[in-house]
Amino acid sequence: MKDRLMTAMLDFAEEAGSIALAEQSDLQAELKPDETYVTEVDMQVSELAFQRFAEHVPKDCIVTEEHVDNLTESAGRVESADGAASGSNDSDLLLVVDPIDGTRNYFHNMPLYGISVGVLRGLKPWLGVVTFPALNEMFVCTGSEAFVLLGAYGSKPKRRALARPDEDGEVAKNSQILLANGFARKYRWSYDVCTTLLTACVTVNSCWPVFHRGIGSVFVDHLWDIAGAWPLLQLLGFELRGSESGRLIDEYRPSDYDPETRRVREPVIVSRPAHFDRLREGIIKL
């Protein structure tokens, strides 16, 4: 089951990425109530996810940014009566897709956007594929190994294994932490800790540190924004911790998210364990 699902995820990412590349130069978009963009490609890729994954995962266990109604019900079903997830069969899987993350960048013909698909097993991150079509890269976690495909949309992609570094190093002032534009709504960053890069794309922020592009990120968004990268981060020794509570976030808990906005209730720092205490000093509430 795992091998078939991974194959479907890779095929989906390649197909969806090709669609995104072909359609980017001639787009129309609408603003959603939260003032984020949605394009016809978002909707097309969302529908493609249901078409490609329905034979692998129950349809009511598939969640996309444009179809979020399944999230609360399916998460509640996966969770066992005592609050521990069993993860024993395909009904314990939750497949979460972000059709286009960084839609504002995408609409304005910029390359920093991604397509993400992640599988939670028993509400815990398990498998993930995140593709950046304009950057020609695809990040993959099979549950036991992680790698990046460079030249992913060419005839001969180059596979490069991803591994934990031997040493964590220190948070230096010239280190970069990656932020999305949602961060600036309620917080600012202290440059006494390190510098920042505002990418306006959560999937970029989540994947790049595992490829030594940035020391970590601050996550203030939705489950679908990070679901594809989460297995990669976990396998490669990164943690998600609440910046205020310090609590480790190692599974999907609906209580961690605001029920109206579906965003996390507190900023979450994505970093190696050794860097968390220093990085949390950088977040200043407005």
List domains and CATH numbers for the chain: 2-161 (3.30.540.10), 176-285 (3.40.190.80)
| Tens of pLDDT, residues 224-265 | 999 999 999 999 999 999 999 999 999 999 999 999 899 999
Compute the average pLDDT of residues 156-185: 92
Tokens of 150: 């460079």
pLDDT of 81 strictly over 70? no
- Compute the distance between CA of residue 113 and CA of residue 225 in angstroms, rounded to an integer: 11
Q: Residue 86 burial (CB < 10 Å; 0-12/13-18/19+)? A: middle
pLDDT at 66: 76
Check residue 37 and give its pLDDT: 65
In this prediction, residues 24-45 reach a mean pLDDT of 75
**pLDDT tens digits, residue range 213-222?**
999 999 999 9
pTM beyond 0.85: yes
- CA–CA gap between residue 54 and residue 72 (Å, rounded): 19
